Structure 1
Amino acid sequence: MGGARTWLASIALALLAVFALLVAGRADAQPQVTDDNIAAEIFADGPPEAGGEWLVALRFTPRSDEWHGYWSNPGDAGLGMELAWELPRGWSAGEPLYPVPHRLVLGGLMNHVYEGRYAVLVPIRVPRGANLEELEPISVTADYLACTDKICVPQRAVLELDPTAAEEDPRFIRWRAQIAPMLDSRANFAVEDERLRIGIPLPADMELSDPHVFVEEREFGKGRRLAYADEQTFFRDGDLLVAEVPLDQLNLPSEIVREPTPQRIEGILAFSRDVGVRFTAVPGAVPSAGKPVAAPDTPALWLLVLGALAGGLFLNVMPCVFPILSLKALSLARAGESQANARREGFAYTAGVLVACVGLGALLLALRSAGEAVGWAFQLQEPAVVIGLLVLATAITANLAGLFELPSIALTRGGEPAGAFATGLLAAFVATPCTGPFMAAALGAALILPPLEALLLFAALGLGLALPFLAIGLIPALRRMLPRPGAWMETFRKVMAVPMGLTALALLWLCFRLGGDELGWGAAGLMAIVLAILLVAGRRTGAIRQAAFVAILFVATLGIGFLPNLASEEVEVAQSLLDPVEFSEDALAEARASGRPVFVWFTADWCVSCKVNESVAIEREATRDAFVKARVITLRGDWTRRDPAITQFLADHGAAGVPLYLWYAPGEEGRQLPQVLGPDALVTLAQAVPARPANVLHDTSQSGAAGVRSD
């Protein structure tokens, strides 16, 4: 009997262990070293014209997410790209134009990198009178570095392009939008002691969410060089932004120390992760005081803790948790229950919830620190975990329906800390698919706070989830308010089987969405086998019930180990009234470059809050009609399965998970919408868009690489 009462806890802990092994295996896998770790291709924006500037793109595609390339100044480590062109006589290649680089800190060293696909544009000057009829192909030899967190591999690509066959490429719209534009005003700089101070003309009302200066020059005379990983500071003096970049004093030979300070520096001022401007600076006066530029507003820790606590309370009304909580609460109200037993159950349940929430949070932080792109509810992106939860939900549904007795949540048993602890584990594990109201800021901050503060937020989330049952266990007056035990409780128990059964069906549907028909029908077969075992065992006791538990554990283990192999790489995309474009950074850049309003939403099939918002506010004819009238471009990011690009984008916007909704008015930065949308929230936004003549909207064709649609 004792083993039977703890089987639920064993399964929950086993699921955590299985998932940890799955993702740890991914994190520890060594990348395969080849000569094509970052592939390079060359494209032209149409044919060249004599006396003009011909734009050529070098597009780089990593073989997997772990590889990254470098900006012209790679930072503390790495190597910038070198290009050797073979051009017709009189033709000349200009300086490469780069997108805004990203910061990557490893072992205290900062690198300036590009993660994922990126394009570098190179302007080529075509002389007047050039004979464009009989041109030989041009070529370029690109030497660059491809790195992961563990290894670096030199790369060389010899690329060839026939100017006479070049055609306009619609992808250049997107690639141009990603290049940082040049400021039309010159900046000044000054080197003072161990600081490089740069005064950059910038309107005082321009928003800076995460400013950083990338400087192309490395050395600043007298043995001084940029301290890339040190914190930069910013302040404003009217329409001038002053950036202070720390310098290191190096112990170098005297002939190098005598090198003068450069007379011109170039760089990129990043406003946020992917938005910025290029600048050129010359020696000059730079103000030494001004109004500090505040870092992005982060709520006080106590406010974040309250948000996590409130978010945990909200999770109690989710359909997979409410039946368990209700039945455990009623079990405390039965006649003769002692205060000591009620207190023990309340504390045990709370301990189970806290162990699950803090354990999941610690695993999340560990995986992110190891370079894995995961977010909140990451466990539900793994087929093995979903299959385990499906078995668990099926067994609990059968128990609530009266098909067999499951001691850990039985109505007739109480005062059993092991059963209450197991129930808390289960409740927390299945209640965390989504970030709901109050949770967004807390969980988003948890990804960037120090580990102890982050774990405090996960613990507060767990405490909020456990609080109702803990209060019932500790406060006799609350227990007295509950209905007295009676025959009606058996009926109530069977009623509660309905939402739990719907949860099991939702998990089965999720198997289809995660891995296609083969995984879905395999999971359905596993579900049928579990139900058959339970029907045979029925409400019998002794050896038969023990054998049934062992059989279910055996079948579940086989299912978790084998069925994920059936998962398909291609899964049918869910239909939508808004006919959205699949989200990518490129698609978003192209949509914003069109001059039309853009709505982006991130969802997942396992996210209850997402599906509620979609039914209430997004998938509505009124929303579709308003969007068509306002010419809104819609993009949808589906996070049902692991997607590192979406994970990174969510983290960049302070979100640990879904849902996330962004609205881009024409020519403006994105506005983050609430996580709970009202029925007319999107309609109102679309109606507020000013009417614009069609001929000023730079629509792009459906044939474009990102697939942004024109009306």
Structure 2
Amino acid sequence: MTCARSNSILLALLILLSGTLPAPAQLNVVGDGGPGPVKAQHLTAELTTLSPSINPGGTLQAGLVLTLEEHWHVYWRNAGDSGQPPHITWTLPPGITASPLQFPAPSRLPLGPLMDFGYEDTAAFPITLTADKTVKPGPIHLDAKVDWLVCSQTCIPGRAHLGLNLTAVTTPIPTPAPVGALGTALTLLPSVLPPTMQYSILGGKKDFVLTLITNKKVDDAEFYPYEADQIDNAADQDLTLIPGGFQLRIPRSTDTQTHQLTTPALPKEMRGVIKLSDKESYDVTAPVVPGEVPIAPGKGTQASGVTIPVAIGLAFLGGIILNLMPCVFPVLFLKGLALVQSSSEERSRLRAHGLVYTLGILVSFWIIVAALLILRAGGSQAGWGFQLQSPTFIAILALGLFFFALSLAGQFDLGLSLTSVGGDLAKKQGYTGSFFTGVLATIVATPCTAPLMGAAIGFALAQPAGITFAVFTALGLGLAVPYLALSFQPAWIKILPKPGAWMETLKQLTSVPLFATVAWLLWVYGNLYASPTNPSLGVNRESDLLLSLLLLAIAGWALARWPAQLKSTITAVVLGALAIAFPLYQPKDTSLTWLPYTTQTVADARAAGKPVFIDFTAAWCLSCQVNERVVLRSAEVQKQLADRKVTLIRADWTQYDPAITKELAALNRSGVPTYVIYPTANEAAADVLPEVLTKGVVLDAIDKDTK
């Protein structure tokens, strides 16, 4: 939910504010290359093995173990939205080789609207050492340079010079037990997918659907891709159980540089880790097959319990209930009376009237479903589920359902002219009258269908055409069956309740689930814009749609104030057009241009008498990304920076830069984020802002330093 995401941002900022700043320090290398642990900022680093000895021609499990202070973390091989994994460079004696670092399955590490992948508390990265057969018995020393990034409210790169002392022996070495942090990490490495499991990936316009047949019950699953910028890291990964396994729906990565919902081309394949629990994960690779797996409204079809028989049954029952609607029941009641009055006719003729009435309903529903399938085909066969990923469709659907709900709640009568036309046709004598009575029943029942039939219709529209027709046919048969039964047994008209005020109450109650659906669509609409680029954008777009709903409410008032008059129709049409146009307007990206950091760029700007704002940041710094998206990209801050003609410089520390490191040290800082404003006056001292930014802090600093 958009408001929940906003709350998470505020919570993250409060957490950051509650922390203390790290002590200023240079980025020094700790350790002298000897064995044993070394203490660095916020962690202890050590190279360790399961055994002190290795056989020539054999292997030995070693590992890099990082023991972290509380609330600090390091990163997986794909760090997520920010960060970078540990790296090791070996200096090895002849005959000894070392494998790359191996990474156990990570955890999701959220901060505000972003998500990193990594480890807290203790992180161990297994390494396989191999000794050639030519290695001579005796002592061996292994030397390694290790670097990492450790983060909490700030991110600090670290480096260490570590070592291992081993002994090459020719006597057999017992298989060592997997103990300690290294032993635990070895058990947590992703396993190869067994042949009893089947894995596949479907890539749609907005998401990936990963299918894993496990032949066992799965309660939870998370996917971590090896490649960056493939998935929306912070988005929920929705699990849907299917026979024999599950499907995991994951939104694709969107353009993080603008507010537009654009996506890169589908990758040919995706590699990664599926984590089923803290102790079970699998290394998976599969080609990405283009295609869509539609989403039924609310949840996946299996998760919601809606299967083909259930959907058909719900449709049939819903059709029967539709007969109790105040706009449908009088039609049924009057036709039933007509049957009683014509009871002298042949029984076969009465039944024929019932069958023709049923045909009128079925033909009407078939026309409706054919039109819906044509519209669905225009969306690349995406179905109802795909449309729920389109902000335009969500807005129009929410507005339409809200308008229907206002009518059901009693604000105005919808479709008086259509009902009048259908009524004229229904008054015709003979089979023509019976047929168009069925058409009329369909017309007046359609606005009531959604609140009663949401799950079944949503399921039907996400299925192949044959199933869709079957569900809608069941709905039509349910609507037709009471009158059809009366045509076979006219005497049953005596048991029908008489029309009355109870029908209006029932109609108004059906507006409640429609309003609830509109509320859910508002949440979906906001989330489509909020993830992952700019959380405030989702709130803004949601408020636009709320204003459109207000315009529709005013349109409904006009229809009720002047019923069936031209001026009310014109007013409603104009307000409806504005209501549709308002949420569909796409705001332009107003992001300002940032210059890359050099000492000369800063000197030139200051010499010209311009105020300078320097953003010391890094791609691996999650706090930096939160500050940028929540504060620096906000409209108020962007406008103030532009109006005061502030020179914007970004000091990108993603890769180690000695010039930036030196400048940070001069500012008495050891890590990022760091924010500095140099006032207009050339001799003025730098104004160093807090690590956690708010709009007020930045706006006040700009106002103070640019006078």
Superposition TM-score, scaled by structure 1 size: 0.37
Query: Larger C-alpha radius of gyration, 1 or 2?
Result: 2
Superposition TM-score, scaled by structure 2 size: 0.37
